[in-house]
Structure 1
Amino acid sequence: MSTKVAVVTGANKGIGFAIVRGLCKRFEGAVYLTSRSAERGAAAVAALEREGLRPRYHQLDITDTLSLETFRDHIKKNYDGIDILINNAGILFKSSSKEPLSVQAEQTLFVNYFSLVSSCDILFPILKNGARVINISSSFGHLSNIPSVELRNRLKDENLTVAELSVLMRQYVDAVKQGTQAAEWGNSSYAVSKVGVTALTNIQQRILNSRDIKVNSVYPGYVATDMSSFEGPLTPDEGAAAPLYLALDAPDTIKGKYVWYTKEIVNWDGIMPED
């Protein structure tokens, strides 16, 4: 019987680290903690080993095509494919950031959206039939964060393609550079990037239906991590609960959904629940 494989990106700290911990406790197979920094990744693995857990490690920078291809080739060489893929890696510029808004927009969309697209382009071919993919979104990823009705309708269009969605995401970056983004897109690059993640999830599910692969996006809650300046009321382990539910426990009928940290399915283009 072949070894099952679970992969978590951006997993050396915060929610990603907690997801790896939860998988190591329950998933019967190889659990890969991946991170951009090999040094920080090794430290994270050592911390889990001190808890008696046995994650495996591989360096993975989702913004680097060569890194993604190297990791893909490692999995292909050693396993039959991936059973669980949790796309957790992402960035957030804090309100105190000094970088120009145009730089923040370009970098946020590059990491949170475009690098996710690249990751999936490279790793989806080695997903096993029946695999589960969890894209970490946010409450900012709810469609109500986009002011323009026309844009909201475009983003939820069931015929929207990845290529067309990517054009929209580039249009946002261009609008920020021109200072014209507020009326249609709002002023949060993080929100636009996570709306992009949620929209991408919906498209991916349509594409992968024929392989019985379940793709869902999830808001893990307002978690106390360095990304939130440790202001969130939830612990990382609490933030890992909904992603772990989708990875391990959710019925196969839950696919192409936007899931809240309470494990409830939320209407992406309806009223956003209170946090």
Structure 2
Amino acid sequence: MTSCTKGRIAVVTGGNKGIGYCIVKTLCQKLKDEQGLVYLTARKEERGKTAINQLNQEGVHPAFHQLDIESKDSVKRFAQFLKTTHGGLDILVNNAGIAYFTSPHTPLALQARNTLDVNYFGTLNVCDELLPLLRGKARVVNVSSGLGHLSKINGLEPAASQLRDKLSSDNLNVEDLNRLVNDYIKFASEGTHKENGWPNSAYAVSKVAITALTRIQQRGFDLRRPHDNIAVNAVHPGWVQSDMTGGKGIYNTEEGSEAPVYAALLPDSADVPKGQYIWRDKSVTDWVDKRSIADKHKT
């Protein structure tokens, strides 16, 4: 059965708080006139429904669906629901993620495994099931970070330079990227990550991987569906005050939602940006050249 919703169908992962909550709210407001529908998803049903009630009180009305991005079964159920109910998807914002900013003394081996399982492999689970549902002119936003710039692969040389070359290669595919990510998890558990070129920050690795994945995904759409004008972009929202950062940061969550919403609502006719790394001020930033962020905020 297909829904009678006339406008675009949008999905935001990790939408029950922080930046995700504000992205849901703004998308609801922006898509209201076209009778679009935004799905707020969350791992915990109770937290998701609480967020829905809060948004209803603020005058917006998203739908809720439970989604645990680490669970392939949960993701498959949601994909089948979208396919049956709406026949496709128009906007996907991959926002769900974790960080150890408030518990930095957690052993790196544990940080690496947990952070990459959620931020990278969990997001990949979602993409594997939902990207095939994208309709023409669809928009995908992979929420990255200032720590997701390629220059953050800054372990010992020459291994770090070799890693950066691999991650930025136009020939990189998902299987290659998965191997690199699993290598990092292994090296972090052994304490040999630095000499193998990797940084100390598991969060940085996860967001570099997400940005590299973005470039791979765009190349795939350009090759397989060249006339559909689908845009996939990675977005750095800024250093935002949230639970993830322990309340530290420069920008509030509404300010942090601005660049992701911009990328989610690129005009149908827009040819750019595609497969790009977008800074919080909505500018396209060279992901490979570290000089591109030298004059930007360190956020």
Q: Which whole-Å CA distance do the structure 2 matches of 1:190 and 1:113 have between them?
A: 10
Match among 169, 183, 187 for residue 157 of structure 1? 169
Q: Does 1:9 align with 2:13?
A: yes
What residue is the counterpart of 1:207 in the other structure?
Answer: 220
Kindly provide the CA deviation profile for residues 8-55 of structure 1, in whole angstroms up to 9, marking residues without a partner as x.
000000000000010011113011000001000001000010011111
Alignment of 1:90-169 (within 5 A): 90-94=97-101, 96-147=103-154, 148-169=160-181
CA 1:129–1:249: 2 relative to 1, 3 Å: closer
Q: Secondary structure at the match of 1:121?
A: helix
Q: Does 1:22 align with 2:22?
A: no
Q: Secondary structure at the match of 1:182?
A: coil
Q: Is the 8 A contact 1:80 1:128 kept in 2?
A: no
Q: Is the 8 A contact 1:65 1:118 kept in 2?
A: yes
Q: TM-score, normalised by structure 2?
A: 0.89
Match of 2:8, as an amino acid? Answer: K
Q: Secondary structure at the match of 2:69?
A: coil
Query: How many equivalent pairs are there?
Result: 275
Alignment of 1:41-56 (within 5 A): 41-56=48-63
What residue is the counterpart of 2:283 in the other structure?
Answer: 264
What residue is the counterpart of 2:200 in the other structure?
Answer: 187
Measure how far apart 1:274 and its partner are: 2.8
Match among 68, 91, 95 for residue 88 of structure 1? 95
What residue is the counterpart of 1:216 in the other structure?
Answer: 233
Match of 2:79, as an amino acid? Answer: R
Kindly provide the CA deviation profile for residues 215-270 of structure 1, in whole angstroms up to 9, marking residues without a partner as x.
00000001110111111121111000001111114633210000000000000011
Match of 1:187, as an amino acid? Answer: N
Q: Secondary structure at the match of 2:265?
A: helix
Structure 2: where are the runs of 5+ without partners? Answer: 155-159
Measure how far apart 1:212 and its partner are: 2.2
What residue is the counterpart of 1:174 in the other structure?
Answer: 186
Q: Is the 8 A contact 1:85 1:133 kept in 2?
A: yes
* 4+ runs deviating over 6 angstroms: none
Structure 1: where are the runs of 5+ without partners? Answer: none
Measure how far apart 1:3 and its partner are: 4.0
Q: Does 1:68 align with 2:75?
A: yes
Alignment of 1:228-247 (within 5 A): 228-247=245-264
What residue is the counterpart of 2:157 in the other structure?
Answer: none
Q: Which whole-Å CA distance do the structure 1 matches of 2:63 and 2:266 have between them?
A: 22
